[in-house]
Amino acid sequence: MVVCLSAVPALDVGGAVGTDPGGAEREPDRAGCAADDRQHRGSRSSSGSGRKRGTPRQGFGRSRGGFTTKIHLRVNAAGLPMRTEITAGQTSDYLGFDLVMADNLPEPSVLLADRGYDSDNIRKTMEVRDVVPVIPMRKTRKLRVAVDRRLYRLRNLVERCFNKLKNARRVATRYDKTAESFLGFIDITSIRLWLRHLST
């Protein structure tokens, strides 16, 4: 079986494939091989391009770390998880704050968070709820607000809780396809931390 392949023709002035810039038609490069007269002026993108449907709904998204899921976590003074939520990897921390700081849980007296949660809206919301926000200012802020560094050191309770949760392989490396399944296993791991704490 003989397959005849012709060279890719140059683009014409209109952007279509098939003619030379000068307007002269290309001759077949090999004897017996007809030139491909198909034009690509109205071509469309391939069906495989673009994002897949349903991806953000399952908590998957693109971030600096790649294809990831972001876990939002609220812990108490003992470093135990109070509420967990997941969003796509590119989701802003502001949305995560709204998810975990719903007012159906006991109000904290102090909110410790990193500078990813530094916004006027979050600070005003906490002040209305009589909660003291201890959040470092972003570098782009012109008006600086001092932070109690002794209190802010306690934010490592969140990082330590994340470390305990990620001891479970299914949390550290997401194997679950659906967001409900993944979040459910995070909740199971959180319950184990609570049981371990209450049994000591």
| H/E element, 171 | helix 169-172
**For the whole model, what pTM was predicted?**
0.63
The answer to whether residues 136 and 111 touch, using CB atoms and an 8 Å cutoff, is: no
H-helix or E-strand containing 13? none
Distance separating alpha carbons of residues 169 and 71, to the nearest angstrom: 15
Average pLDDT rounded to a whole number, residues 100-118? 85
Q: Which residue, 146, 160, 150, is CA-closest to 197? A: 160
Q: How far apart are CA 162 and CA 54, in angstroms?
A: 27
Mean pLDDT in the chain? 77
Residue 148 has pLDDT above 50, yes or no: yes
Measured from the Cβ of residue 113, the count of other Cβ atoms closer than 10 Å reads: 20
72-99 pLDDT, tens digit each: 899 999 999 999 988 887 777 788 888 8
User: Given this model, what pLDDT does residue 193 score?
Assistant: 95
Radius of gyration over alpha carbons of the chain, in Å?
28
Alpha carbon 26 to chain centroid distance? 49
Is it the case that residue 153 has pLDDT exceeding 80?
yes
Contacts of 163 (CB under 8 A, 6+ apart): none
Give, for 190, the enclosing helix (H) or strand (E): helix 179-198
Q: ∠166-119-117 over CA atoms, to 5°?
A: 5
